[in-house]
Structure 1
């Protein structure tokens, strides 16, 4: 991802928020057969306060990616959407696409079966937490044998990135009036509703007005 200093996203707390809110990521590896990509859910490592993530892949994706042997690129995609030139007023301009994205690169550490079980347990608990009647990993009708057979079909990993490139392109190069117009158009009730992107733009705008 080509970086532009005006759009660089470097605050660790904001990057952690991006990962936490957008756990469905793309894993990319360069292999002797060419590039390969897979899609899995990840979580921030709850034992760390940096950008370390944990997750798992289903076998044989671990072999396809050379998991633990070579670099893995993890692409985190946040809110994004089309921006019409009509929202800039009566000036010459072209469309663009606003987005928030992060690329985390590093060589993953392979987890032990017990560590992998803990990650699988966390993943299920995390995504079931909003349900009225959550079905957790170790609850019936699952039994211990079923859960351990499930674990054997997966490979858990922990990745502490050695390189991070993150970009928050949210019309920071436009006037405050134009930014406000775009947020309005993207908000619920606007001409092209994209509430998640509108919220990200409002957050970035407010941070510029009141630096933390």
Structure 2
């Protein structure tokens, strides 16, 4: 991914974007043809390494590309918003602000026990805090056994990260504050989140 120097994120920041936006795009190649699946992932750090674990449908042909594949790409999309040039002091063209992470890694298919552990973790994360949440232990074992026949689990060890935070860093404080003010007027949560991120980056200088 092309990233001008001023927009590059540190790996630690990128991992937080991945964890906050775990519904990613999984991309592999099969016989020179790119394959892609939109998929929720569990992101974890272990002894200095980063892993993404998930599962896809058994009928998804992309599963064949996940067995010992060292060239896998995950794309995570963070907050983003259209930025109108009418908000600037001087005449300029409009743009789009965004957070995005491209994570490259090596994939392997995981065992049934590893898949169960992954599903258990994911259910606890998304259901554990809910009233009457459905965690692994609350399901009929026969139902789980049947459903697991329809999926294939995988793990990707992240080996390289490219992350961009293009958030109007090139604008002066006056324009920067105007962008935040206009975005905060929006009813769109994405635009409000961009404004929140921008305000945090220049806390103290634009108050």
Residue 162 of structure 1, aligned match among 154, 159, 162: 159
- The list of structure 1 runs, each at least 4 consecutive aligned residues, that deviate by more than 6 angstroms after superposition, is none
Q: 1:113 to 1:46 in 2, by over 3 A?
A: farther
State the 1:75 CA deviation. 0.2
Q: Is the 8 A contact 2:128 2:135 kept in 1?
A: no
Q: Secondary structure at the match of 1:159?
A: strand
Q: Secondary structure at the match of 1:99?
A: strand
Q: Aligned residue for 2:56? A: 57
State the 1:69 CA deviation. 3.4
Q: Is the 8 A contact 2:128 2:134 kept in 1?
A: no
Counterpart-to-counterpart distance in 2, 1:192 and 1:122: 31
C-alpha distance after superposition, 1:45-95 (max 9, x if no partner):
264554322111121336455112332110000000100001112x12111
Q: 1:129 to 1:191 in 2, by over 3 A?
A: closer
Counterpart-to-counterpart distance in 2, 1:192 and 1:95: 18
1:113-128 counterparts in 2 under 5 A?
113-128=112-127
Say whether 1:77 aligns with 2:74: no
Q: 1:63 to 1:95 in 2, by over 3 A?
A: closer
Task: Select the structure that is richer in strand.
Answer: 2
Say whether 1:92 aligns with 2:80: no
Q: Aligned residue for 1:106? A: 105
Say whether 1:150 aligns with 2:137: no
Counterpart-to-counterpart distance in 1, 2:196 and 2:22: 18
Counterpart-to-counterpart distance in 1, 2:57 and 2:19: 22
| C-alpha RMSD over aligned residues | 2.2
Say whether 1:182 aligns with 2:176: no
Specify every segment of 5 or more residues in structure 2 that has no aligned partner in the other structure, as ranges.
Answer: none
C-alpha distance after superposition, 1:184-206 (max 9, x if no partner):
1111x358762111122123333
Aligned length: 203
Q: Secondary structure at the match of 2:80?
A: strand
Q: 1:25 to 1:63 in 2, by over 3 A?
A: closer
Q: 1:130 to 1:64 in 2, by over 3 A?
A: same
Specify every segment of 5 or more residues in structure 1 that has no aligned partner in the other structure, as ranges.
Answer: none
Q: Secondary structure at the match of 2:103?
A: strand
TM-score w.r.t. length of structure 2: 0.88
Q: Secondary structure at the match of 2:42?
A: strand
TM-score w.r.t. length of structure 1: 0.86
Q: 1:45 to 1:183 in 2, by over 3 A?
A: same
